[in-house]
Structure 1
Amino acid sequence: MSTAIMSEPSDEQAAMQHYLLCGTEDCQENGQFYCNDCHRPLCEQCRDEHGKNQNTKFHEIVLYRHRKHQLPVEKCKLHPTRNVDIFCKECKIPICSKCSTMKEHHRHEFDDLEEIYTEKYALQQGEFSKIQKYFLPNTKSLKSDIEADATKIQKLMESIRASMKAEAESLKNLVDEVSSENIDHTHTMEKSLLEMLKSQETIYDDYIAYLGKMSDDFEQHLSLTNHKLLFSETLKIKTIPETTKPVDPVFTAGRFSKDDVAKLLGRVNISNAEPKKRKIQPMEAVTTHMKSTEKQLEQSKEKSDMKQTLCLSSSVTKVREYSVPGVDNAYHVSVEKSGRLWVSDWSGTCNLVQTDLQGNQLQKIQTSGEGEGYHTTTQDGDLIYTDKDKKKIYRITPDRRITEFIKTGEWTPLSVHSSRINGDILVGMIKDKEAKVTRYNKAGNEIQNIQSDNQGQGLYSDPDYITENINGDICTANYNKKAVVVVNKSGQHRFSYTGRGSGFYPCGICTDVLGHILVCDNYSDTVHLLDQDGGLLSVILSPQQGIKYPCGVCVDDENNLYVGQYLTNTVTVYKYLQ
């Protein structure tokens, strides 16, 4: 009997992948079912035999993922050979069956401890689910709001500082302009005053010359030889010309203080407005969503129960093949609801081709995508694909209209997947030596980034292919890391699958309606089938089925498996569920 697969294995356990075997002695088949009474996994054949056996035909048998968790073994302190498996409702203590016959418990009512354990487990699982689906996402969202506010404040303050510098520079320019005008005015004033003084100087020069001439005239009049002149006329001297002194210019200093300058330049103040509380999503909304999701899961479970024949087939059957014109290598495959295919190439031209059910080419687009899962179909019938060179994501509608959908900034988008649960878009990206998975809503708004584990270590190396499981797990194939990395919908690392031997190079990856994970191993030319918790159930395709270099896989609504391979343009379709 195999050991149960843990939901969150450690790194060492993740490296030691094993098969989930049937719990029946000497049976080596895959244990897809579980008996809640025997607490052991069962294969399909043993399940049928279990139902026919008179001793076990009324046992409750469910799919393995719907199993009840077994009551932990605890020995009775009073009766060490007995297990504690009864709950005394009067004394409110767990006891063994022998304790129930003692006088201390006479006429007391008892409950099955395993039922109570199951209820408590479900209750605690519900509380744990609240952490994963409400408290943690909301807290991370609030933290993201704070980070966004911090970035906003930094940008705002940088803008304010730039405005202050510009205003100060403007004031400096005005000061320089006024100062220059004042200095020019002093030069004009000085020139005018000097011209006035020069004019006055000329007046006195002329008067001095006049006085020289008058002196000569007086000497002639006073000469004895010309005494007659003294009696003939009387000489008179003109008065000294009057001039005015210039009024001295006076500099009146400006009157201003630091506060005056501060008023001119303005100040930064905090508004008196009341701070708004950050909006926390009410628990009721999440609870309603959880109930809706649980209802959907329950409906899916009912459908699964109605189709008890829907399980792994004992063998894989080839259904049909498509030869896709316009491509040399079928690296990645996406299937529309109509059955039409989208197949991408990596042969220099990097073509993305759409074909009909007969393999006729309908569309061909040249992209920058290479050996990655860079396209996905949506529930609305659109195709989403990435452009690595332009760092953009595009949408193609059924009427063949191509529109730009998302810009990824500095990050190079590698892989993309459209959620079948809520229509979100999951994108695997790289930048330098970093890698992450980003979630966008249907409108193209970024709502989540997944990059590191709880220890701060990077989860991804190169998320070349990406998909989502029915429980919301995000599964990525990292070729260079040689691992399939799986996180839950909150971004917490669940497990990493590293194959079953020394060589493992994962490429295409997808999931099915039963929660299986299917991944291509390009190293061993195989396709591995994992359970929801990372346990290897089987190698469903290998070179024995003609498989070579499998690269792309996807499952359609009829549970058919499509496989694309390197070095051929053929897409092969298989039936592996029955």
Structure 2
Amino acid sequence: MATTSDEQAAGQHYLVCGNQDCQRNGQFYCNDCHQPMCEQCKDEHRESPDTKHHDIVLYRQRKHRLPIEKCKLHPTKNVDIFCRECKSPLCLKCFLGKEHKGHEFDDLEEIYAEKYALWQGEFSKIQKYFLPTSEDLKTDIKEDVKEIKKIMENIRTSMKAEAESLKNLVDEVTSEKIENTHTMEKSLLQMLKSQETAYNDYIKYLGEMSDKFQEYLSTTNQKLLSSEILKLKTIPETSKPVPPVFTPSQFNKDNVAKLLGILNIPNTEPEKRKIQPMEAVSTPMKFTQKQMEQSKEKSDMKQTLSLSSSVTKVREYSVPGVDHAYHVSADKSGRVWVSDDGGNLVQTDLQGKLLQKIPTSERDGGYHTATQDGGLIYTDRYKTMILRITPFRRITEFIKTGDWEPVSVHSSHINGDILVGMKTDKKAKVTRYNKTGKEIQNIQRDNQGQELYKYPHYITENINGDICTSDISKRTVVGVNKSGQHRFSYTGQRLEFCPYGICTDVLGHILVCDIVSKTVHLLDQDGGFLSVILSTQQGIEYPRGVCVDDENNLYLGQWLTSIVTVYKYLQ
């Protein structure tokens, strides 16, 4: 059974007619009989004198049945009446007693239905608005963290560049001043050199005059007396050089700080994060323009599509190169990929013509997925890697998963992300990668810290971003939202349930193979059982792989046969 929070108490409802002899879709619901019914049985119900006044509504508008609760005073009686005066639930025996005589009463089932609808609405708000919106705000904060780190690193880089520029200017000015000292020094030395030359010349002159005086002094007195008196030149006057004086600038740290840029926080009011009003939120996913256009096309399609009253076989064909059709992936080019338990992976056209065949090491599970660009991605658990085949048939190593074995893979039709179901000897998880192969999310435990998965061998994504996996070890279909929060667990309609291939359609239905009952189950978006869409009545024996293409055709692959069968179930 699916165990969503809004249906645990009321049990599981079925979109199959409540008439045991009728297997048609139960699109309607009798609130008095509390059973689903098809259109034909609904008409018969209204024509019957005993039931013509029953309240029959669409299944989605049904009132949920009051849970069975025994009266505390009369343990053999069920509680189904509410006393307004005493504000307490009563059984029929309490109602007839003297204690409540003259009181006003309400139908407890009506109250329960109203409360159920109210709580279901609140639960829906949490899942569809409050939780996704909070997660988006948290994502915005993470983006702001990245942006702040980037801005601060740019500021630091600018500061270093500015300081380096100032250093360069200081070096340049210092170099010019030092060059100026050399010029001054040269000028002063030239002046002193000139003075030194002048004194050298004068000393030479004094030597010559000394020789003349000595010559005169050695002559006769007659000659000395008759000679002209020699006159000496005066000593040349020179000036002492005036050396330049260096006066250091008076500066401090503040002076330097003023020369550099200023860092401060602008005096502006912080902008509040925008929270979309609840009525404006149509989906928690963020879309590109192209994705929004595709979403609009699908939305337009939803207005005209609904479940058919019966499933119609369109065609079937044998897939060459495989022994058993374990997993089926339909790509956008109108071609289909099929794998078996012998490691064979083949691509065919819609008539079954073989286009290409690839040997792999895989044996089971949903290990391949068609991509938006017409390529294919598949896993190799033994090499712990994911490989990619381009539209030009080139095989490349795409992602290495380390110690984790990839066992299932799905390429998102919403944003191209890669969802991978992985396991080790003791643990399992779902990892999200972006289109370039960068790991961006790991999903492993629920809010209580319990392990979500044991062996997620098939995986898909719903139109609301939910990740749905078939876990063969837990015998459960596990649904989580795009943030990894647990949404539901579906465990089938019998004591034994073993889910295999899983896919979703344009209306948000979940389709899953049960190899125990040899059926394909149709679930709603919340993991609630709607109907058995394929069974042995349609000749189904060993359902293993399912997928839905862009034309809303349902492809089914089975064990022990290479035949793929195509059905129409939407109209």
TM-score, scaled to structure 2: 0.66
Give the 5 Å matches for 1:37-76. Answer: 68-76=63-71
2:337 aligned with 1:343, yes or no? yes
Residue equivalent to 2:431: 436
Residue equivalent to 2:467: 474
Q: Return the offset for 1:82.
A: 2.9
Residue equivalent to 2:178: 183
For structure 2, the 5+ residue unaligned runs are: 285-295, 380-384, 393-397
Q: Structure 1's 546 and 480: CA in aligned 2 closer, same or farther, altered over 3 A? A: closer
Q: Which amino acid aligns with 2:122?
A: E
Give the 5 Å matches for 1:381-392. Answer: none
Q: Structure 1's 80 and 37: CA in aligned 2 closer, same or farther, altered over 3 A? A: same
Residue equivalent to 1:82: 77
Residue equivalent to 1:198: 193
- Asked whether the equivalents of residues 376 and 384 of structure 1 are also in contact (C-alpha less than 8 Å), the reply is yes
| 3-state SS of paired residue (1:277) | coil
Residue equivalent to 2:229: 234
Q: Return the offset for 1:183.
A: 2.5
Q: Return the offset for 1:281.
A: 0.7
- Asked whether the equivalents of residues 324 and 343 of structure 1 are also in contact (C-alpha less than 8 Å), the reply is no
Percent of paired sites with the same residue: 51
Greater shift, 171-180 or 261-270, is seen at 171-180
Distance 2:421 2:282 in 1: 35
Q: Return the offset for 1:334.
A: 1.6
How many residues of Structure 1 are paired with residues of Structure 2 in the alignment?
515
Q: Structure 1's 152 and 527: CA in aligned 2 closer, same or farther, altered over 3 A? A: farther
Q: Return the offset for 1:163.
A: 0.9
Residue equivalent to 2:566: 573
Residue equivalent to 1:451: 443
Residue equivalent to 1:562: 555
- Asked whether the equivalents of residues 554 and 569 of structure 2 are also in contact (C-alpha less than 8 Å), the reply is yes
Distance 1:435 1:302 in 2: 32
> Alignment partner for residue 320 of structure 1, among 309, 316, 323?
316
Q: Please list the CA deviations of residues 369-398 of structure 1 after superposition, one character each: whole Å capped at 9, or x if unmatched.
A: x97443267xxxx9686699999999x9xx
2:494 aligned with 1:509, yes or no? no
- Asked whether the equivalents of residues 476 and 497 of structure 2 are also in contact (C-alpha less than 8 Å), the reply is no
> Alignment partner for residue 512 of structure 2, among 502, 506, 518?
518
Distance 1:185 1:327 in 2: 93
| 3-state SS of paired residue (1:116) | helix
Q: Return the offset for 1:280.
A: 1.1
Q: Which amino acid aligns with 1:554?
A: C
Residue equivalent to 2:268: 273
Q: Which amino acid aligns with 1:211?
A: L
> Alignment partner for residue 250 of structure 2, among 247, 250, 255?
255
- Asked whether the equivalents of residues 485 and 495 of structure 1 are also in contact (C-alpha less than 8 Å), the reply is yes
| 3-state SS of paired residue (2:92) | coil
| 3-state SS of paired residue (2:220) | helix
Q: Structure 1's 478 and 180: CA in aligned 2 closer, same or farther, altered over 3 A? A: farther
Distance 2:104 2:110 in 1: 15
Residue equivalent to 1:404: none
Give the 5 Å matches for 1:130-169. Answer: 130-169=125-164
For structure 1, the 5+ residue unaligned runs are: 401-406
> Alignment partner for residue 279 of structure 2, among 275, 284, 288?
284
| 3-state SS of paired residue (1:374) | strand
> Alignment partner for residue 169 of structure 2, among 169, 174, 177?
174
Distance 2:49 2:318 in 1: 50
Residue equivalent to 1:333: 329
Q: Return the offset for 1:118.
A: 1.1
Q: Which amino acid aligns with 1:265?
A: L
Give the 5 Å matches for 1:407-422. Answer: 414-418=409-413
Residue equivalent to 2:112: 117
> Alignment partner for residue 204 of structure 2, among 206, 209, 219?
209
2:7 aligned with 1:7, yes or no? no
Q: Which amino acid aligns with 2:349?
A: T
Q: Return the offset for 1:168.
A: 0.8
> Alignment partner for residue 129 of structure 1, among 100, 119, 124?
124
Residue equivalent to 2:292: none
Q: Structure 1's 155 and 218: CA in aligned 2 closer, same or farther, altered over 3 A? A: same
- Asked whether the equivalents of residues 428 and 463 of structure 1 are also in contact (C-alpha less than 8 Å), the reply is no
Distance 1:235 1:482 in 2: 137
Q: Please list the CA deviations of residues 45-74 of structure 1 after superposition, one character each: whole Å capped at 9, or x if unmatched.
A: x99999999988987799998875432344
Distance 2:66 2:56 in 1: 17
Q: Which amino acid aligns with 1:493?
A: H
Q: Please list the CA deviations of residues 151-208 of structure 1 after superposition, one character each: whole Å capped at 9, or x if unmatched.
A: 2111100110111011111211222232233233323332332232122112212211
Q: Please list the CA deviations of residues 11-40 of structure 1 after superposition, one character each: whole Å capped at 9, or x if unmatched.
A: xx9xxxx9x9x999xx9x999978865668
Q: Which amino acid aligns with 2:268?
A: A
Q: Which amino acid aligns with 1:563?
A: L
Distance 1:301 1:120 in 2: 32
Q: Structure 1's 38 and 437: CA in aligned 2 closer, same or farther, altered over 3 A? A: farther
Distance 1:167 1:478 in 2: 59
Q: Return the offset for 1:501.
A: 12
Q: Which amino acid aligns with 2:443?
A: Q
Distance 2:305 2:54 in 1: 19
- Asked whether the equivalents of residues 330 and 568 of structure 1 are also in contact (C-alpha less than 8 Å), the reply is no
Residue equivalent to 2:293: none
Distance 1:355 1:180 in 2: 79
- Asked whether the equivalents of residues 335 and 342 of structure 1 are also in contact (C-alpha less than 8 Å), the reply is yes
Q: Which amino acid aligns with 1:428?
A: L
